[in-house]
Each structure stands twice: as C-alpha cells, then as structure tokens.
Amino acid sequence: MDHRAPDKTIERTVLLVLVALVLFASPVMFAWAQDNSPWYTPYVLWAAVIAGAALIGRRRKDV
C-alpha cells in the first residue's frame, strides 16, 4: 500500500487559477486598476501568479 502523502498539485493548481481569475477577471480588477495606481501594479500581480506557479512546480512529488 502506498502511504505517501497524496500529491496536491491539482488542488493547488486550481486554487492558483482561481486566485488569478479573481485578480484578473472579476470586479477585484477595479480595485487595482485605478488611475492613481502605480504603473507597475499589473506587473506585480502578474509576477505573483508566476511565482505561485513556480512554487507549485517545486512542490510536485511526481518529479
């Protein structure tokens, strides 16, 4: 019997995509897309999603 902890990659992936959708495809956009927001705001959010994807990749157990 395999007693290793289950790989939660899929759960993490879905969570990350949900976060990305909340940030970039929901009314939450209006919060960061203000005229007085710094120019780099979308880039920072984008980089955060990329960092999340990289983190998921590093924690995968089936490598």
Partner 1 sequence: MFSLTALFSAIFLYLCLLFLIAYATEHGKLPAGLARHPLTYVLSLGVYATTWTYYGSVGFAASQGYTFLTIYLGVTIAFALTPVLMEPLLRLIREYQLTSLADLFAFRFRSQAAGIMVTLFMLAGTLPYIALQIRAVTESIHVLTQEAAPKALAFGFCVVLILFAILFGARHVTPREKHEGLVVAIAFESLVKLVALMTVGLFAVFGVLGGFSGVERWLQDNPGALESLYQPIREGSWTTLLFLAFGAAFLLPRQFHMAFTENIDPGSLRVAAWGFPLFLLLLNLPIPFILWAGQSLSAGADADYYVLGITLGSGSQLLTVFALLGGVSAASAMMIVTTVALSAMALNHLVLPASIPDPTLNLYRWLLWGRRVVIAVIVLAGYGFYVALEHNQRLVELGLISFVAVAQFLPGVVGVLYWDNANRNGFLAGLAGGALLWFVMLFVPLIDAGAPANAGISLQPWLEYTGMDKWTFVTFWSLTVNAGLFVLVSLVTRQSPDEADAASACVNETILPRGGVLEVGTTDEFTEQLARLIGDDMAHKEVQLALKDLGLPADETNPSNLHRLRDRIERNLSGLLGPELARSVVNQQLRMDSKTQNLFADSIRIIEERLETSQMRMRGLLGELDSLRRYHRQVLEKLPSGVCSVGPGGEIVIWNHAMSTLSGVAPVDAVGRRLGRLPEPWCDLLDGFLEGEATALTKIHAVVDGESRWLNLHKAYLGRVPGVAMAERVRESTGTVLLVEDTTEKHKLEAELAHADRLASLGRLAAGVAHEVGNPVTGIACLAQNLRDETDDPGVRRGVGQILDQTRRISAIVRSLVSFSHGGQEPENKEPVNISECVGEAVELVRLSRSGRGTDCVNRCDSALYVLGVRQKMLQVFVNLLTNACQASGDEQPVTVFTRGGSGWVEICVQDLGSGIDPGNIEKVFDPFFTTKEPGEGTGLGLPLVYNIVKEHDGHIDISSPESGGTLVRMRFREARSAESGLSTAARS
Give the residues lining the site for partner 1 (CB under 8 A).
Answer: 1-2, 4, 6-7, 9-10, 13-14, 16-17, 20-21, 24-25, 29-30, 33-37, 39, 42-43, 46-47, 49-54, 56-57, 60, 62-63
Taken in order 41, 47, 50, 56, the sign of the CA dihedral is negative
DSSP helix/strand/coil, 19: helix
Residue 39 CB, shortest distance to partner 1, in Å, is 6
Question: Cβ of residue 59: shortest distance to partner 1, in angstroms?
Answer: 11
Cβ contact 42:32 at 8 Å: yes
